[in-house]
Structures are given as structure tokens and as C-alpha cells.
Amino acid sequence: MKTLPAIAFVLACAVSSVSLASTRQVTLAVPGMTCPTCPLTIRKALQKIDGVGNVAVDLARKTVTVSYEDTKARPDQLAKATGEAGYPSTIQAMPHGG
């Protein structure tokens, strides 16, 4: 009965390699975003971060939805980056957990 642990090992590896490199999305609430030029600054700050992909700004809702590689960037790092650009933000939603 040596095959069963081997199969379990292979499965565990397959699952972990999938979760190691996935694109996640986080929505940041940015209350200080008040005019149409704010998103430009925020987007620039976020896209400087390694692993950040699409940045979608919703000026009406004062939110920024960021796609990022979870192996390279972290939500708190994204929130910190907008803060350093002059727009403190909080993590509002993480649809895929975290």
C-alpha cells in the first residue's frame, strides 16, 4: 500500500501550484478621490507595483478595483501605495478571499 500516499502527494502539489500563482482582485475604497484627475495619480501609483495588472477606477463610488498576481503583490501593499500617493485607502472587498 505505497501508492496511496504518493497520489495524495501529487494532488497536494497540483493544488498548491495553482494557488501559488493566481490573479486576484481587490477593491479599495478611496474616499479622498474627488475629481477626474485623482484616478490618474492613483492608477500610476498602483501600476508601479510589480504584479499589478488592470486598475479600474470608479470615481462615482470612490473605489479602485485592482487585479494583481498574488505571488507578487498584497492588498495591504496596494492600499499603502495609494496612501503614499496622497490617497489613503481601505480594503473594501476581496471576492476571492485572501
Helix axes 38-47, 75-84, angle to 10 degrees: 130
CB of 37 to Cu ion, least distance (A): 5
Using left for φ > 0, alpha for ψ between -120 and 50, and beta otherwise, residue 87 falls in beta
The yes or no reply on residue 85 touching Cu ion (CB under 5 A) is: no
CB of 29 to Cu ion, least distance (A): 16
**Mask for 32-61, x = binds Cu ion (CB under 5 A):** ---x-xx-----------------------
Indicate the DSSP class of residue 42: H
Give the residues lining the site for Cu ion (CB under 5 A). Answer: 35, 37-38
